[in-house]
């Protein structure tokens, strides 16, 4: 399964991309930080590690991974920790993950569609 989220971007980022500004990566990160709940929602929609859905509370964008072309298409990597609580065993575990996110920017509508990785869906468990 592959998940996505849509963002409305600020004009300063769109102009920085069009002009290939040196500061485009910083502006990009600042635009995403304004609405970080969308990235958290995207990350929380995946099943992790053992097929359970962990809770992601924060993430870090790998600044060196950001790529944006002149058409507004690109990708970057986020690093995050998924927290899992196994109630029956009273265990609290954390697992480190990273995910490559791709995006497409529409300069007219100022929208960016952020697309997560494709992961196989969790299979039904036998009873």
CA-closest candidate to residue 101, choices 86, 119, 84, 83 = 119
Q: Is residue 93 in a domain?
A: yes
pLDDT of amino acid 123: 56
13 pLDDT band, cuts 50/70/90, is very high
d(CA 75, CA 91): 35
Tokens of 36: 């970080």
94 pLDDT band, cuts 50/70/90, is confident
Q: Is residue 47 in a domain?
A: yes
Local structure of 1: helix, strand or coil: coil
pLDDT digits (tens, 9 = 90+) for 45-89: 876 655 566 788 899 999 999 999 989 999 999 999 888 776 777
pLDDT of amino acid 120: 66
Over its C-alpha atoms, the chain yields an Rg (Å, rounded) of: 17
> Could you tell me the maximum CA-CA distance found in the chain, to the nearest angstrom?
58
Q: Is residue 60 in a domain?
A: yes
Domain limits for position 49? 4-115
Q: Is residue 120 in a domain?
A: no
Q: Is residue 11 in a domain?
A: yes
Q: Is residue 94 in a domain?
A: yes
Q: Is residue 82 in a domain?
A: yes
Q: Is residue 122 in a domain?
A: no
How many angstroms separate the Cα of 17 from the Cα of each of 5, 7, 70, 105? 20, 16, 6, 10
Our count of domains for the chain comes to: 1
pLDDT of amino acid 90: 73
Q: Is the pTM of this model over 0.85?
A: no
Instruction: Please indicate whether residue 74 or residue 33 has the higher confidence score (pLDDT).
Output: 74
């Amino acid at each position: 399964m592959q998940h996505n989220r849509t963002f409305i971007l600020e004009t300063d980022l769109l102009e920085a991309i069009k002009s290939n500004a040196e500061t485009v990566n910083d502006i990009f990160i600042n635009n995403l930080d304004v609405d970080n709940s969308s990235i958290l929602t995207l990350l929380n929609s995946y099943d992790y590690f053992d097929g359970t859905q962990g809770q992601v509370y924060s993430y870090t964008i790998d600044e060196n991974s950001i790529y944006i072309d002149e058409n507004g298409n690109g990708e970057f990597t986020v690093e995050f920790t998924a927290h899992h609580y196994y109630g029956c065993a009273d265990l609290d575990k954390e697992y480190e993950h990273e995910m490559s996110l791709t995006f497409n920017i529409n300069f007219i509508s100022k929208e960016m569609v952020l697309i997560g990785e494709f992961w196989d869906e969790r299979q039904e468990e036998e009873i």
